[in-house]
């Protein structure tokens, strides 16, 4: 059994890989809740122990920084006697070629999203991870990462706008967002709709670029906490894959099997 951990900016998701099968995931907030993740994992580990089970490896995707990596490492060593295997972005792995000029500088969550995407289509793909930050990546049919984009997520965009425009913030907070058709018909609706439409338009533009390259129609894959909101705003068909990073992590863990 391999414990897989996807540590994002705000939440940590985990699942386990056993016999080539990925379990349903669980999630816990770690940002602003310093003990919650350890308590959740300890409860899970205790349940396993009652069945005589324990992870043989811990494989981690971490974008929360070095401090959290040290906390996680200390916890896993003390509780499970294992040091985590922290995955990093590679120049090439699992049939995917990194498009960054310095491959290690590509965020590991983006890298694993690209690896995970190959399990959903052999052709081109646009991968949108809509979380605290929004990332958009283009994957060609041959497995080449063409590059991508990074934007603030929905909450960050809203907070930035509210923080610089007090009158807008007051108007937005006075009533819930209202949207009719394409357009916001109050301030909160105009802000929320504008953010979603800008993200959707970028994703659709990437899909169009991939299509004209001649490899066929790309698959648009959505992941991250705000994926359902974004999906509702898209004109193109899309597939929501909540655990795309964990799926990529599972593929990398399998490729590193002893």
What residues act catalytically? Answer: 109
- Which residue from 35, 60, 118, 93 is spatially nearest to 249, judged by alpha carbons? 60
Where would I find the H helices in the chain?
36-50, 66-80, 108-117, 154-164, 166-173, 187-210, 227-231, 244-255
| Burial of 47: CB neighbours in 10 Å, binned 0-12, 13-18, 19+ | exposed
Question: What is the C-alpha separation between 11 and 27, in angstroms, rounded?
Answer: 7
Phi, psi of 119 (to 5 degrees): -75, -10
- Which residue from 14, 1, 5 is spatially nearest to 52, judged by alpha carbons? 1
- Other CB atoms within a 10 A radius of the CB of residue 181 amount to 7
- Other CB atoms within a 10 A radius of the CB of residue 22 amount to 18
- CB neighbour list of residue 86: distance below 8 Å, 6 or more residues apart: 60, 62, 69
Structure tokens that stand for 156 in this block? 């960050």
């Amino acid at each position: 059994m391999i414990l897989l951990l996807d540590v994002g900016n705000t939440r940590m998701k985990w699942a386990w890989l056993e016999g080539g099968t990925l379990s349903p995931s669980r999630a816990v907030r770690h940002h602003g809740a310093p003990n919650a993740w350890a308590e959740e994992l300890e409860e899970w580990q205790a349940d396993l122990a009652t069945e005589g089970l324990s992870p043989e490896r811990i494989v981690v995707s971490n974008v929360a920084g070095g401090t959290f990596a040290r906390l996680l490492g200390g916890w896993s060593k003390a509780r499970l006697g294992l040091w985590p295997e922290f995955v990093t972005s590679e120049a090439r792995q699992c049939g995917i070629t990194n498009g960054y000029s310095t491959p290690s500088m590509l965020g590991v969550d983006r890298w694993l999203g690209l690896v995970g995407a190959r399990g959903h289509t052999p052709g081109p793909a646009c991968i949108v991870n809509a979380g605290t930050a929004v990332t958009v990546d283009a994957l060609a049919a041959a497995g080449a990462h063409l590059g991508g984009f990074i934007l603030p997520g929905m909450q960050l965009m809203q907070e930035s706008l509210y923080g610089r425009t007090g009158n807008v913030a007051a108007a937005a907070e006075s009533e819930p967002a209202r949207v009719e058709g394409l357009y916001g018909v109050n301030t909160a609706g105009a802000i929320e709709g504008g953010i979603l439409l800008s993200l959707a338009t970028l994703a659709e533009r990437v899909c169009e670029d991939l299509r004209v390259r001649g490899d066929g129609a790309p698959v648009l894959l959505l992941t991250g906490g705000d994926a359902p909101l974004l999906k509702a705003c898209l004109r193109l068909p899309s597939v929501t894959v909540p655990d795309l990073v964990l799926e990529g992590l599972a593929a990398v863990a399998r490729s590193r099997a002893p």
